[in-house]
Amino acid sequence: MTGPGVSPRFVAAARAESTADPGGRKRVQRPIDHPLVWRAGERCASWRARPTGFEALDRHLPGGGWPATGLTEILTEHYGIGELSLLMPALARLGRDGGTGCIVWVAPPFIPHAPALHGHGIGLDRVLIVRGRADARGNRDILWATEQALRFGSCGVVLAWARSVGQVPLRRLQLAAEAGRCWTVLFRPPDASRQRSPAVLRMRLTAIGEQTRIEILKCRGGRSGVVSVRLGNRCQGDAGRGREGSPHGDDGRAGPHRDDRED
């Protein structure tokens, strides 16, 4: 797992030092030491990544985390399966690392609950919320607002919820995110997976029992695959849950770093 400040060259070198990849094959000890050279068998080191806070996911993503810039698409049919909890460690770290970027929420489907965000360690003075409307013009305005926030370059993360995004607006968002050096997370319904996408990372979320199944549909410089993580039962600092305890008794052990990978 590497921090966002580590140069790609260093990452490449560090990876070359590592003994074996999960497949068990012995790696080439000295790859051509150039950041622009990417070896097909290796994770792409060109992402400046922000750690997700979930080890299983970090292991799977090239660079070891969320892409620092560009478009990330999260396809989910329902809310309440951990789609926000998945982002919380990265968002909290964004503020802690001294970044001045704010977190812009464009058209969230419900009210982001301030005490919970605060509990996750997110500075509320960095949060800017733009309420959207549900009609067609509202959808256009949502995309417009997202693009504006991206182009401004002083936002750390833009989270946007859009009903339908055409091919051209999607491309615009990706370009704006790259131009503004900003991380964008676009939440979309799952039928969007049929559409081509210029996004850097694209994943579909489903809940299976206690776990959230993350199906990585597209990952620039990485591989698609499936990761399961346990989300949602954890607050910042392991604050714990209700006094009564849960019928499953898994509160204390439910940290995200106890995940396993079923790739």
Partner 1 sequence: MAQPLRALYPGETSPPPRPSLSPGSRPNRLWIAVHLPEVEDRELVSLACWMRRITPLVSLEPPQALVLEVGGSLRLWGGLDSIEEALDRELGRRRLSAHLCAAPTALAALWLARDGRKDVLSTKRLAGFLGALPLHVTGWPQATRRLLKKMGLGTVGDCLRLSRDGLVRRVGQRCLDDLDRSLGRQPDLRTAFRPDRRFSSVVEFQEEVTSPQVIAEAGKRLILRLAEALHGHQAQIASCRYGFRHLRRPATMVRISQVVPTHESRKIIDLFLTRLETLSLPAPVTALSLTTGKITPMAGLNAGLFPACPDRASETTLGELIARLQTRFSAEDIHGLGLAENHRPEAAWSEVRDPWAGFAAVGRGIPDHRGGIPAGRRPARQATAPGYPQRPLWLLPMPVSVTAADGEWGHLRLESGPERIEAGWWEGLDTSRDYYVARGSRGRRLWVFRDRRSGRGDWYLHGIFG
For residue 126, what are the contacts with CB-CB under 8 A and spacing of at least 6?
A: 95, 101, 102, 103, 156
Using the contact rule CB under 8 A, the part of the chain among 19-27, 60-68, 145-153, 215-223 near partner 1 is: 145-153
Figure out which of the listed residues 47, 83, 143, 200 binds partner 1, where binding follows CB under 8 A.
Answer: 83
Beta carbon nearer to partner 1, 45 or 185: 185
Figure out which of the listed residues 134, 246, 258, 262 binds partner 1, where binding follows CB under 8 A.
Answer: 246
Contact flag: residue 193 with partner 1 (CB under 8 A): no
Q: Which amino acid is at 197?
A: S
Q: At closest approach, how far in Å is the CB of 247 from partner 1? A: 6
User: Cα separation of 86 and 56, whole Å?
Assistant: 12
Contact flag: residue 78 with partner 1 (CB under 8 A): yes
Q: At closest approach, how far in Å is the CB of 235 from partner 1? A: 6
Contact flag: residue 131 with partner 1 (CB under 8 A): yes
User: Cα separation of 22 and 19, whole Å?
Assistant: 10
Q: How many residues in the chain?
A: 263
Using the contact rule CB under 8 A, the part of the chain among 13-21, 22-30, 148-156, 217-225 near partner 1 is: 148-156
Q: At closest approach, how far in Å is the CB of 47 from partner 1? A: 22
Q: For residue 250, which of 238, 261, 260, 262 has the smallest C-alpha distance?
A: 238
Q: What does the angle CA 219 – CA 15 – CA 213 come to, to the nearest 5 degrees?
A: 35
User: Cα separation of 164 and 166, whole Å?
Assistant: 7
Beta carbon nearer to partner 1, 22 or 242: 242
Show the binding pattern over residues 110-129: x = contacts partner 1 (CB under 8 A), - = does not: xxxxxxxxxxxx-xxxxxxx
Contact flag: residue 22 with partner 1 (CB under 8 A): no
Taking every pair of Cα atoms in the chain, the longest distance, rounded to a whole number of angstroms, is 57
Specify burial of residue 262 (Cβ count, 10 A radius: 0-12, 13-18, 19+).
Answer: exposed
What residues make contact with partner 1 under the rule CB under 8 A? 77-85, 88, 95-98, 100, 102, 108-121, 123-132, 141, 144-145, 148-149, 152-155, 206-210, 212, 232, 235-237, 239-248
